[in-house]
Amino acid sequence: SDTVYQKYDNYDAIEVPFTNAIPSDYDGVMGVPISFLDKYSSEQFEIISSNDIRANNNIPYKEHGLIKDKDGTIMGKPVYVRIIIKHKKTPKSEEA
C-alpha cells in the first residue's frame, strides 16, 4: 500500500481514518473508527484493548480499552474514539 498512516503519540498503533482505508497488507495494530463494528468479521480481525499497546506506563489504563480522550492524540491533536484491531494470521496452508 502506498498510503502513509500516522502513528498515535501514546499508543503503538497506526491511525486509519476510514474503515475503507484499512490496509490489507499491514500486520500491526490499527486504530479504526467505531463504524468499523458494522463491518467487523471475527474471522478476519481481532479486537485488541488499547491498554495492551500503551507507549509507556504513564498512559492511564482505560477500562473501556478504546483510544479516546486527551491520551488519544496524533502530533498533539486529539482524534475521535477509536477501536483497536489487528488482522488475524492466515495459516500458511490456507493461503492460495
pLDDT tens per residue, range 39-78: 999 999 999 988 888 888 888 888 778 888 778 889 999 8
pLDDT band at 84 (very low <50, low <70, confident <90, very high): very high
CA–CA dist 53, 74 (Å, integer):
15
Q: Is pLDDT above 80 for 93? A: no
Domain ranges of the chain: 14-91
pLDDT tens per residue, range 29-41: 999 999 999 999 9
pTM for the full predicted model: 0.81
Q: What is the pLDDT of residue 6?
A: 96
DSSP secondary structure string, 40-56? --TTTEEEE-GGGGBSS
